[in-house]
């Protein structure tokens, strides 16, 4: 079958049409017009054609979804890994799941590209093509139908190969639907093929399953035994099935729903067979290949330069224990902290004595202080000093005598000494801080010095 491309030009009723322009209009046809056209010309199309179009359109968004959910314990992500083996209904449902108008349009246009190729290969009359083109002129936008309902309306226009259902053989249908569909999806798939899957089996249905399986095994099931099974209660019937290793229960499990569809659908019931063993349902999905990317490749002249290869020798060394260094840094940091507190305490003392002069006491007279009231630490030096001054001021004193000049000179010298002490203390603090920074930089660079 010759494949049309979107840029191909075809002639219909003496008029040239570019395929891309033509399919853009045909995509606007409602499902009823679509279906009626194919019925009118007596044409049905292989279901695999539609399946390949759906896979081609959905491949990119599915790959992206799988990648996004790769690190999640996600059921949807796992089910999508079976995408390459999906049945028609699964692909139609997936198209609806993405809920994208642009994706729906892309699908319908590509479907018509393949249909035009197929119809030309089947020698469809030119006047039928012309009728199709004229019908498409009535519509100028996509149908507002739900895309899943749109596809289901076309189910009679696409056919399965013999003994296949939904585009899959029985051997493929079982593991794919078992691993990648939900119970709700399975029941909806059954409806598509006019199979109403019951939620619970009736007594006669359960008996029929057991009898059919025993007959298939050719274990000499007699008429009397068959009647005995049919007369059993449901509880006894289930016990009988279990004792004879027949999978049958009134509560349908996923694999039992699958078997029910295969055994009742028109497409497969004549050639229905039970799976040979349980491994039929335990297959694993094929890995998803990346979506093909078609790019125009320009011829590039590659310039190859001689590259000098140098061997890089990586020296191995034992990791040193920096525990003692860190302990030393912590010790120095503690010294620095204590020294800063001491400097701050000294700075907080008044530089000049108050204007009130402490008068001399009588020689030999004791001064009694309550030492328990003092904090006696560096942080509270200023407070202790002020408390002491208050005690001294409150004590009785004699009349002051004129202060000698040498006392004033001594006080001036003490003030200079205090300033020198403060400057020296800050120098020591800066040196200690620099040492700490130096040791930290060397430590984080991977060595001591």
pLDDT digits (tens, 9 = 90+) for 427-443: 888 888 877 777 777 76
Q: pLDDT tens digit string along 358-373?
A: 444 454 455 555 555 5
85: burial class by Cβ within 10 Å (0-12, 13-18, 19+)? buried
Structure tokens, 249:
């229960």
Residue position matching structure tokens 């040791």: 439
Q: pLDDT tens digit string along 343-360?
A: 666 555 554 444 444 444
Contact between 275 and 283 (Cβ < 8 Å): no
Structure tokens, 433:
């801080």
Taking residues 13-31, report their average pLDDT: 95
**pLDDT of the residue at 389:** 67
* More confident site: 10 or 357: 10
Q: What does the alpha-carbon distance between residue 17 and residue 25 come to, in Å, rounded to a whole number?
A: 11
Residue 389 three-state SS: helix
The CA-atom distances, in angstroms, between 256 and each of 196, 261, 346 are: 13, 9, 92
Structure tokens, 165:
């259902």
Q: What does the alpha-carbon distance between residue 77 and residue 64 come to, in Å, rounded to a whole number?
A: 10
* More confident site: 256 or 109: 109
Residue position matching structure tokens 């503690």: 334
Q: pLDDT tens digit string along 280-307?
A: 888 877 656 554 444 433 333 333 334 3
DSSP class per residue in 239-283: HHHHHTT----SB--HHHHHHHHHHHSTTTGGG----SSGGGG--
Task: For the chain, give the mean pLDDT.
Answer: 79
Structure tokens, 307:
């590259």
Q: Is the predicted pLDDT of residue 214 greater than 80, yes or no?
A: yes
| Residue in 234, 247, 165, 249 with CA at minimum distance from that of residue 200 | 249
| Residue in 146, 192, 142, 155 with CA at minimum distance from that of residue 39 | 155
Q: Report yes or no on whether pTM surpasses 0.85.
A: no
Q: Is the predicted pLDDT of residue 263 greater than 50, yes or no?
A: yes
């Amino acid at each position: 079958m010759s494949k049309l491309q979107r840029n191909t030009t075809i002639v219909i009723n003496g008029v040239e049409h570019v395929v891309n322009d033509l399919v853009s209009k045909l995509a606007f046809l409602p499902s009823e017009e679509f279906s009626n056209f194919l019925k009118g010309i007596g044409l049905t199309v292989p279901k695999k054609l539609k399946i390949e179009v759906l896979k081609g359109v959905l491949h990119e968004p599915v790959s992206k979804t799988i990648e996004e959910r790769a690190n999640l314990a996600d059921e949807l992500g796992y089910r999508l890994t079976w995408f390459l083996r999906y049945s028609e209904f699964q692909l139609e449902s997936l198209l609806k799941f993405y809920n994208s108008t642009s994706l729906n349009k892309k699908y319908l246009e590509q479907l018509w590209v393949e249909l035009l190729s197929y119809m030309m290969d089947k020698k469809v009359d030119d006047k039928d093509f012309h009728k199709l083109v004229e019908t498409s002129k009535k519509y100028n936008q996509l149908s507002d139908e739900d895309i899943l309902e749109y596809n289901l309306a076309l189910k009679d226009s696409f056919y399965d190969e013999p003994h296949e259902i939904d585009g899959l053989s029985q051997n493929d249908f079982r593991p794919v639907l078992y691993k990648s569909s939900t119970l709700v999806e399975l029941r909806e798939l059954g409806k598509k093929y006019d199979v109403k899957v019951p939620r619970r089996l009736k007594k006669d249905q359960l008996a029929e399953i057991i009898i059919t399986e025993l007959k298939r095994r050719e274990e000499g099931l007699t008429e009397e035994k068959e009647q005995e099974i049919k007369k059993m209660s449901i509880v006894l019937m289930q016990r009988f099935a279990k004792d004879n290793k027949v999978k049958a229960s009134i509560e349908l499990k996923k694999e039992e729903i699958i078997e029910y569809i295969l055994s009742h659908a028109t497409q497969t019931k004549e050639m229905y067979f039970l799976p040979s063993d349980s491994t039929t349902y335990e297959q694993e999905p094929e890995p998803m290949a990346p979506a093909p990317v078609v790019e125009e490749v320009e011829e590039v002249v590659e310039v190859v330069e001689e590259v000098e290869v140098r061997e890089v020798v990586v020296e191995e060394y034992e990791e040193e224990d920096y525990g003692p260094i860190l302990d030393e840094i912590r010790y120095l940091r503690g010294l620095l902290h204590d020294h800063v507190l001491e400097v701050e305490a000294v700075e907080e003392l008044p530089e000049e004595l108050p204007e009130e002069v402490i008068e001399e006491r009588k020689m030999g007279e004791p001064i009694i202080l309550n030492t328990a009231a003092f904090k006696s630490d560096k942080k509270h030096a200023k407070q202790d000093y002020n408390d002491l001054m208050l005690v001294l001021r409150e004590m009785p004193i004699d009349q002051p005598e004129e202060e000698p000049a040498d006392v004033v000179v001594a006080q001036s010298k003490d003030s200079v000494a205090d300033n020198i002490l403060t400057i020296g203390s800050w120098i020591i603090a800066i040196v200690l801080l620099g040492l700490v920074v130096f040791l930290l930089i060397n430590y984080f660079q991977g060595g001591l010095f």
